[in-house]
Amino acid sequence: AFCSVVAGQRATRAHVSPPIIAMLAKSAEVDVEQLATLRMMLSAAAPLYASLEEECSARVGCPIKQAWGMSELSPLGTIAPDDARRGGSIGIAVPSTDLKVALIDAEGGVDPRAPAVPRGERGELLIRGPQVMQGYLNAPAKTAETLLGDGWLRTGDVVTMDEDGYVYIADRLKELIKYKGHQVAPAELEDLLRTHPKIADAAVIPKLDEIAGEMPRAYVVPKPGQELSEEEVVTFVDERVSAFKKLRGGAVITDAIPKTGSGKILRRLVIEQDRA
C-alpha cells in the first residue's frame, strides 16, 4: 500500500516510522521502481539504527534523515537538515531551542546548572525552548521531576553530541543496566549484535545478580535459515566491548522481539518473559 500510494501521488517526501524503513529495506514484496519519485524520507517516533538506515537508503535510492521529539515538546526538538545529514543522528536543535548533554550522577540525577559533558561523551539530553510544556495535568510531583530550573526539561534520553551539535541517542535513562556501579546502555549492545551476519534482531535486558546488581543478557533472533548458538552470541559481544559491558547474563535464542507499532522494543515484556 505504501509503495502504491507513493507511485500514485508521485510523492517526493515521506514521513515514516522505523518499521516502514525496515519493510522497505528487507521485504521482497517492495517494488523499488514505485518509489522512484522519492527525494527524501524522514524517520521519527522510534530510534532508527544506522545500519538499517543505510540498508534502506541503498535499496530505495533515497536519502533518509531523522527527527526527534516527545509529547512534552508538542512535539519536535531536533531534526536533521536535508543537505547535512549524518548517519544515525537525530539531527540538531530546531530554531529557538537549547540543548544540553548533562552529567548523570550515581543516583540518576542531573544538575542543569552544571557544565555540559564534553562533546562525544554520554549524558542525559536536556532541552529548553518555547515548545516545552508547562507541566503535567494534576501531577505536580511528576512535573517537578521533569521540569528543572531555568526552563530545562529532562528528556530521559541518554545521548552524545558531536562538535557540530548533532545528537545521537544511546538509550533511555530508565533502561540503563547497572553493573557493579557501571552504566551499560542496552541499545549499544543491540546495535553491535545486529552487525553479526547471523542475527536479524536483538534485545538486551538486565539479569538480576546478588553481587553485581544487574548483568546484560541478550535475546536474539537469527536470520532465516541460520543456526546460532548462545555461546557464539556471547563470544561475539565479549570480544568487542569493555569488561563491564560483557554479556555476563548470557544469551537466549528466540523467534521474535516484542515491539510497539512504531518499532520500539517492549523491553518490559522481554524482562517478564525472562523472569517467568
pLDDT tens figures, 204-225: 999 998 888 899 999 999 999 9
Does this model's pTM top 0.85? My answer is: no
Across the beta sheet with 123-128, the strand order is 98-102, 123-128, 153-161, 167-172
The answer to whether 203 touches 270, Cβ cutoff 8 Å, is: yes
| Best CA proximity match to 95, nearest among 62, 129, 136 | 129
C-alpha cell recorded at residue 221 = 533472533
* Domain extent listing, the chain: 1-62, 66-173, 176-275
What average pLDDT is seen over the chain? 94
Question: CA 57 → CA 167, 187, 201, 238, distances in Å?
Answer: 20, 22, 19, 31
Tell me the per-residue pLDDT of 73-105, one tens digit each, with 9 for 90 and over: 988 999 999 998 898 999 999 999 999 999 998
Question: pLDDT class for 181, splitting at 50, 70, 90?
Answer: confident
* The pLDDT of residue 116 is above 90: yes
Q: What is the architecture, at CATH level 2, of domain 176-275? A: 2-Layer Sandwich (3.30)
Q: Phi and psi of 252, rounded to 5°?
A: -130, 130
pLDDT computed for residue 182 by the predictor: 87
Question: Rounded to whole angstroms, how far apart are CA atoms 103 and 95?
Answer: 24
| Best CA proximity match to 249, nearest among 223, 200, 211, 214 | 214
Question: How many percent of the chain have pLDDT more than 70?
Answer: 100
- Specify the 3-state DSSP secondary structure of 28: coil
Question: pLDDT class for 165, splitting at 50, 70, 90?
Answer: very high
* The pLDDT of residue 106 is above 80: no
**Is beta strand 40-43 parallel, antiparallel or unpaired with respect to 64-69?**
parallel
The answer to whether 249 touches 215, Cβ cutoff 8 Å, is: yes
pLDDT computed for residue 272 by the predictor: 92
Q: What is the dotted CATH code of the domain comprising 1-62?
A: 3.40.50
Query: How many CB atoms within 10 Å of residue 192?
Result: 18
Question: CA 246 → CA 135, 155, 218, distances in Å?
Answer: 40, 27, 10
Question: Rounded to whole angstroms, how far apart are CA atoms 159 and 274?
Answer: 27
In terms of pLDDT, which residue wins out, 108 or 12?
12
Q: Phi and psi of 234, rounded to 5°?
A: -60, -45
Fold of 66-173: Luciferase; domain 3 (2.30.38)
* The pLDDT of residue 50 is above 90: no
- What crossing angle do the helices spanning 230-238 and 186-193 adopt, rounded to 10°? 110
Query: How many CB atoms within 10 Å of residue 103?
Result: 16
pLDDT computed for residue 177 by the predictor: 93
Question: How many percent of the chain have pLDDT more than 90?
Answer: 80
Is 1-62's fold the same as 176-275's?
no
| Best CA proximity match to 245, nearest among 187, 160, 202 | 187
Tell me the per-residue pLDDT of 245-256, one tens digit each, with 9 for 90 and over: 999 999 999 999
* The pLDDT of residue 171 is above 90: no
- Specify the 3-state DSSP secondary structure of 208: strand
